[in-house]
Amino acid sequence: MSAIQTHYRNCNICEAMCGLEIQYQDKEIISIKGDQKDPFSKGHICPKAIALQDFYHDPDRLKKPVKKTADGWVEISWEEAFDEVTTRIKAIQEKYGKNAVGTYLGNPNVHKAGNSLMLPNFIRALKSRNRYSASSIDQLPHHFVSHYMLGHGSLLPVPDIDHTEFLLIIGGNPMVSNGSMMTCPDFAHRMKSIKERGGQVVVIDPRRTETAKKATKHHFIKPERDALLLLAMIHVIFKENLDNLQHLEDHVNGLDEVKSIAQAYSPEVVAPSAGIAAEDIRQLALDFAKAEKACCYSRMGACTQSFGGLNLWLTYVLNIISGNFDQEGGYMFTQPAFDIVKLNSRKNRPDSYKKYASRVWEFPYYNGEFPVATLADEILTSGEGQIKAMVSVAGNPVVTTPNADQLDKAFESLEFYVAVDIYINATTRHADIILPGCTALEIAQYDVSFHNLAVRNTVKYSPPLFEKEDYQKDDWEILQELTARLSDKPIQRMTPEMMLEYGFMSGPHKDKGINLQKLLENPHGIDLGPLQTCLLDRIETSDEKISLAPEAMLEDLPRLKKAMQEDQQTSFSHRLIGRRLLRSHNSWTQNSYRLVKGRNECTLLLHPEDAQAKGIENGDRVEVISAVGKVQIEVEVSDEIMPGVVSIPQGWGQAGKGIRLSVAEGKSGVNMNKLTDHKRIDQLTGNAAVNGVPVNILVTE
Ligand SMILES: Nc1nc2c(c(=O)[nH]1)N[C@H]1C(S)=C(S)[C@@H](COP(=O)(O)OP(=O)(O)OC[C@H]3O[C@@H](n4cnc5c(=O)[nH]c(N)nc54)[C@H](O)[C@@H]3O)O[C@H]1N2
Ligand SMILES: Nc1nc2c(c(=O)[nH]1)N[C@H]1C(S)=C(S)[C@@H](COP(=O)(O)OP(=O)(O)OC[C@H]3O[C@@H](n4cnc5c(=O)[nH]c(N)nc54)[C@H](O)[C@@H]3O)O[C@H]1N2
Ligand code: SF4
Ligand SMILES: [Mo]
């Protein structure tokens, strides 16, 4: 046995990039702790990091390619797997056309450098227009709004949380999620510091969340009515002449248009529909505008709903007109060492929004993709352009995307399906072949996306802790091999490290000597300082001005007005929203016993008044019915949820035929996406509207 050794790396489960200190001996983990010397996370971790060892050792995890046969799954060689996958894909594309092969890319791809860097070439090699990803059930409105206002979908503002004096959080629960589109290790401590320096944190959410409980103030809001609140705040700021764009004064277009639109949305007009009292809205707007440094940050609950695009647009507008955009303590921009904006500049590139419409429902095309909400219909509806085969890479859409049962049937109906995945779960059980990559402890990691979204400029690279076995391949190697075999021309085989080095050499910190060698010499990471005012150097619009009133947003406003008028016309008693649990990450971490043990947290939250009206008691089982499905679930009566709203955690409900997740199956819970309607999307961006879903609740015997 060799001596105990220590390894430092970033946890790559969620977006927070916590530094880990891992003690190990041979292939056994002795301890996983927070790395006190990481200049960014300073020792913080959450319970999920400890489970990295469970995924590494998990006997259910695949390490070799498997093929489905009449006798079940059998292991096959990589050569055989690559041959069969490429032969089948080529045959289907020859027979039905290139678009007959669809792709779905899931969330872990952005948490692995190799995947992020190799996927664009793989997707290009397939030459199919039928591209889908978890982005359209997550953060698409952020990209859309940055694209139209700032000229680039990846030029994304981040709350300068460490300097702000007023943080307004709309539809985010960072106390549990650890922050999203805001890489922010130890949110709890950073939020406490705001309060300690006399600042405020205000949360807008239909649930009094873990974040709301620690905030200075929380307002309930009716689901999907945030755009109204934002419009009313903007209304008040203009009315009181509190608008002040600071250094951006001469760098915006469309200020008068925004001003004139907001005139119609006084706090009194929106209050009944939003469910927040007019005087509270007015006070919030005044407090926000008068704070020295303020930031309005909108996330999942504001994105994955019918007005995601408008919400994000108005969030940017609110920050801009109150002088809090690109200013210390406001909504700021990073200067990452590997600068994905500069490396992929959009200046002078044609706009592809709505270049195509999806075949069955004419949903909008954006950023090279169609909305994932329509994937099942594109597979199930016959005709020219129908999807006959799928490639999924690190995604589990049967659990994570709308109308799960329909998508389950769709995957079952495919002529061919290959999954690049490490588990046989609700989605990949339908695969013909599964190609498994490696897990966190076996890979080198650089957070290509999350350094771009961090609340400080930092940089860190981690080599693998354990060498993979000879018979294993990592995702990037799988993707590169498939790319080579599917391409018409020979490809250049660059490693992720070669690509990173290229990026660092042209990045904003090249003068500080940031390169791979330097990063290897600094295993705790390097701090590059607080966020700086830099937007005017980074903006990508052709006239270098911020577009405050893009056409697309203005055209979407009548839809909001209509929804406001239709508020009372529904035959459903409740609106369903999701929630995240501290010890699970989306749908894939539930096979770690240490993360799922304990009481059942996959419950329906129901307000006491609603429970009483229906004669429901805590612990009762009820049936929840939506336009597309139903589930049976245990009720947790709680006044932390707003009357008229119910909540079920996302990412659960994996049990049944063919699934090989022995721990998760025993703790399976309910899949809330059996209830989410695939036709409910934000019609502006195409993002799925999984929050605010109309449901009825039936008491079962
Ligand atoms: N109703 C509702 N639905 C939601 C949400 C919600 O709030 N409410 N949230 C949405 C959000 S924000 C997201 S991001 C999506 C996530 O949606 P998905 O990305 O579809 O789902 P994940 O649970 O992240 O699934 C990850 C998949 O990758 C596999 N995997 C894990 N690690 C690796 C790896 O290293 N390599 C490979 N090749 N595979 C790996 C897992 O086995 C699993 O199959 O869910 C969305 N769905
Ligand atoms: N523990 C844990 N952490 C995670 C994940 C996980 O599954 N578990 N997933 C990761 C991923 S992929 C992501 S994208 C992030 C998401 O990070 P967050 O956005 O912080 O996470 P959510 O908990 O989904 O927060 C959404 C909030 O919006 C509220 N909400 C729902 N509908 C509405 C509405 O109409 N208006 C308003 N104002 N609020 C609404 C919900 O009650 C909820 O509190 O979390 C990441 N971190
Ligand atoms: S907060 Fe996120 S990055 Fe940090 S330890 Fe937990 S899962 Fe890992
Ligand atoms: Mo996400």
What are the pLDDT digits (tens) for 332-344? 999 999 999 999 9
Reported as a single tens digit per residue, the pLDDT across 43-80 is 999 999 999 999 999 999 999 999 999 999 999 999 99
Measured from the alpha carbon of residue 579, the closest ligand is 2
Q: How far is CA 346 from CA 58, 549, 686, in A?
A: 42, 20, 21
Average pLDDT of 411-426?
98
pLDDT at 666: 86
β partners of residue 133? 105
Q: What is the pLDDT of residues 558-589, one digit of tens each?
A: 999 999 888 777 789 999 999 999 999 999 99
Tokens 């960072």 appear where? 174
Region class of 275: left (phi > 0), else alpha (psi between -120 and 50), else beta: left
Side by side, the strands of the sheet bearing 166-170 are 217-219, 200-204, 166-170, 294-298
Mean pLDDT over each residue of the chain, to the nearest integer: 96
What per-residue confidence (pLDDT) applies to 667?
84
Kindly give the number of the ligand 2 atom that is closest to the alpha carbon of 174: 20
pLDDT tens digits, one per residue of 137-166: 999 999 999 999 999 999 999 999 999 999
Q: In ligand 2, which atom is closest to the CA atom of 204?
A: 38
Confidence of residue 655 (pLDDT cuts 50, 70, 90): confident
User: How far away, in angstroms, is 10 Cα from ligand 4 center?
Assistant: 18
- Give the model's pLDDT for residue 657: 85
Mean pLDDT of 520-533: 98
By most ligand atoms within 8 Å of CB, the mutation choice from 650, 670, 675 for ligand 1 is 650
> What does the pLDDT read at residue 455?
98
Cβ atoms within 10 Å of 241's Cβ, excluding its own: 8
Q: Which secondary-structure segment (H or E) carries 238?
A: helix 226-239
How crowded is residue 609: how many other Cβ atoms within 10 Å of its Cβ? 12
């006084």: which residue's tokens? 266
Separation between Cα atoms, residue 639 and residue 76, nearest integer Å? 54
pLDDT at 144: 97
CA distances from 423 to 61, 392, 555, 591, 661 (A): 5, 12, 43, 10, 7
Span 525-541, average pLDDT: 97
Ligand 3 lined by 11 (C-beta under 6 Å): yes
Residue 656 has which token pair?
């049944």
Q: Mean pLDDT, to the nearest integer, of 663-691?
A: 95
Measuring CA to CA, how many Å separate 101 from each of 378, 385, 388, 415, 678? 11, 9, 6, 10, 21
Residue nearest to atom 40 of ligand 2 (CA): 301
% of the chain exceeding 70 in pLDDT: 100
pLDDT at position 701 is 62
User: Quick check: 553 and 227 in contact, CB under 8 A?
Assistant: no
Mutation choice for ligand 3 from 31, 42, 45, 175, CB with most ligand atoms inside 8 A: 45
- Tell me the fold of 140-335+534-555: Dimethylsulfoxide Reductase; domain 2 (3.40.228)
Angle at 274 between CA 272 and CA 278, to 5 degrees: 60
- Atom index in ligand 3 nearest the CA of residue 49 equals 5
Domain map of the chain by residue range?
A: 5-57, 67-137+342-529, 140-335+534-555, 569-699
pLDDT for position 170: 98
Is the CATH code 3.40.50.740 the one for domain 67-137+342-529?
Answer: yes
Does the pLDDT value for residue 20 go beyond 90? yes
Looking at all shown ligands, the one closest to residue 210's CA atom is 2
- For the cut 90, the answer to whether the pLDDT of residue 197 exceeds it is yes
CATH code of the domain made up of 569-699: 2.40.40.20
Query: Mapping DSSP to helix (H, G, I), strand (E, B) and coil, where does residue 169 land?
Result: strand
pTM check: above 0.95: yes
Cα-Cα-Cα-Cα torsion 631, 635, 639, 644, nearest 10 degrees, comes to 30
Which of left, alpha, beta for 179 (phi over 0: left; psi -120 to 50: alpha)? left
Provide mean pLDDT across the span 691-700.
95
Comparing CA positions, the residue from 74, 223, 277, 324 lying closest to residue 693 is 223
* Minimum-distance ligand 2 atom for the alpha carbon of 647: 42
Write down the architecture of domain 5-57 according to CATH: 2-Layer Sandwich (3.30)
Any ligand 1 atom below 6 A from CB of 108: yes
Evaluate if residue 213 carries a pLDDT over 70: yes
Q: Which residue reads 């390490």 in tokens? A: 63
Q: What tokens does 543 get?
A: 């006239």
